[in-house]
A and B are shown apart, each in its own frame.
Chain A
Amino acid sequence: MKKIYCNIKKCLGCGSCEIACAVEHSRSKKLDSAISENPLPIKRRKAEFIEEGISVSTGCQHCDNAACVAACMSGAMYKEAKTGLTQHSRDKCVGCWMCIMSCPFGAITREKLEKQVVKCDLCPDRNKPACVEACPTKALSLGTFKEFKQLCNM
Chain B
Amino acid sequence: MQYVIIGSSAAGISAVEAIRTKDKDSKITVISDEKKPLYSRCLISYLLAGTIDEKKIWYRKDSFFKDNKVDALLGVRVREINAKNKEVILNNKEKVKFDKLLIATGASPKLEDIPGIDKKGVFPLRTIDHTIEVQAMLDRVKSVAVFGGGLIGLRAAYALKIRGKDVSVFVKSESILSQIADKGAAGIMQRRLEEKGIKIFIGVAAKEITGDKSVKGAVLDNGSKYACELVIIGKGVSPNIEIAKDAGIKTNWGILTNDYLETNVKDIFAAGDASETNDIALGESSVNAIWPAACEQGRIAGLNMAGEKEKYQGSLAMNSIEFFGLPVISVGITRPKSSAYEELVKKDTAMNIYKKVVLKDGVIVGVVFVNSIENIGVIGALIRNKADITGIKEIILDDYFDYGKAIPLIKKSKTGFKEQEFKETVMTL
Nearest chain A residue, comparing its CB with the CB of B58: A75
Instruction: Check: B343 CB closer than 8 A to any chain A CB.
Output: no
Instruction: Check: A37 CB closer than 8 A to any chain B CB.
Output: no
Cβ–Cβ < 8 Å partners of B419 in chain A: 63-65
Choose from A7, A92, A104, A110 the contact partner of B377 (Cβ within 8 Å): A104
Instruction: Check: A152 CB closer than 8 A to any chain B CB.
Output: yes
B42-80 to A contact mask, C-beta < 8 Å, 1/0 = 110010000110001001100000000000000000000
The docked-state distance in angstroms from the alpha carbon of A148 to that of B402 is 24
Q: How far is the CB of B356 from chain A (nearest CB, A)?
A: 15
Choose from A51, A102, A110 the contact partner of B374 (Cβ within 8 Å): A110
A97-109 to B contact mask, C-beta < 8 Å, 1/0 = 1101111111111
Q: How far is the CB of B129 from chain A (nearest CB, A)?
A: 18
Nearest chain A residue, comparing its CB with the CB of B297: A70
Indicate whether A110 sits within 8 Å of B373 (C-beta atoms), given known contacts A48-B404, A73-B59, A102-B318: yes
Indicate whether A100 sits within 8 Å of B320 (C-beta atoms), given known contacts A70-B296, A73-B59: yes
Cβ–Cβ < 8 Å partners of B291 in chain A: 71, 73, 98
Instruction: Check: A61 CB closer than 8 A to any chain B CB.
Output: yes
Interface bracket on A: 35 or more
Q: B377 near A103 (CB under 8 angstroms)?
A: yes
Cβ–Cβ < 8 Å partners of A106 in chain B: 374-378, 402-403
Q: B425 near A70 (CB under 8 angstroms)?
A: no
Q: A50 near B404 (CB under 8 angstroms)?
A: yes
Indicate whether A71 sits within 8 Å of B295 (C-beta atoms), given known contacts A48-B404, A50-B407: yes
The docked-state distance in angstroms from the alpha carbon of A54 to that of B327 is 33
- Of residues 336 through 395 on chain B, the ones whose CB sits less than 8 Å from some CB of chain A are 373-378, 380-381, 384
Indicate whether A73 sits within 8 Å of B424 (C-beta atoms), given known contacts A98-B291, A104-B378: no
Q: A104 near B429 (CB under 8 angstroms)?
A: no
Instruction: Check: A142 CB closer than 8 A to any chain B CB.
Output: no
The docked-state distance in angstroms from the alpha carbon of A84 to that of B327 is 31
Interface of B is mostly: helix
Nearest chain A residue, comparing its CB with the CB of B378: A106
Cβ–Cβ < 8 Å partners of B403 in chain A: 46, 58, 104-107
Q: How far is the CB of B31 from chain A (nearest CB, A)?
A: 22
Nearest chain B residue, comparing its CB with the CB of A152: B428
Q: How far is the CB of A55 from chain B (nearest CB, A)?
A: 8
The docked-state distance in angstroms from the alpha carbon of A61 to that of B43 is 27
Cβ–Cβ < 8 Å partners of A107 in chain B: 403
Cβ–Cβ < 8 Å partners of B421 in chain A: 61, 63-64, 104-105
Q: A92 near B292 (CB under 8 angstroms)?
A: no
Instruction: Check: A120 CB closer than 8 A to any chain B CB.
Output: no
- Of residues 16 through 68 on chain A, the ones whose CB sits less than 8 Å from some CB of chain B are 46, 48, 50-51, 54, 56, 58, 61, 63-65, 67
Q: B299 near A74 (CB under 8 angstroms)?
A: no
* B interface residue numbers (CB < 8 A to A): 10, 14, 40-43, 46, 51-52, 56, 59-60, 291-292, 295-296, 299, 318-320, 322, 325, 327, 329, 331, 373-378, 380-381, 384, 400, 402-405, 407-408, 419-422, 424-429
Query: Contacts A92-B59, A106-B377 given; 4 further ones with Cβ under 8 A?
Result: A8-B426, A70-B292, A73-B291, A104-B378
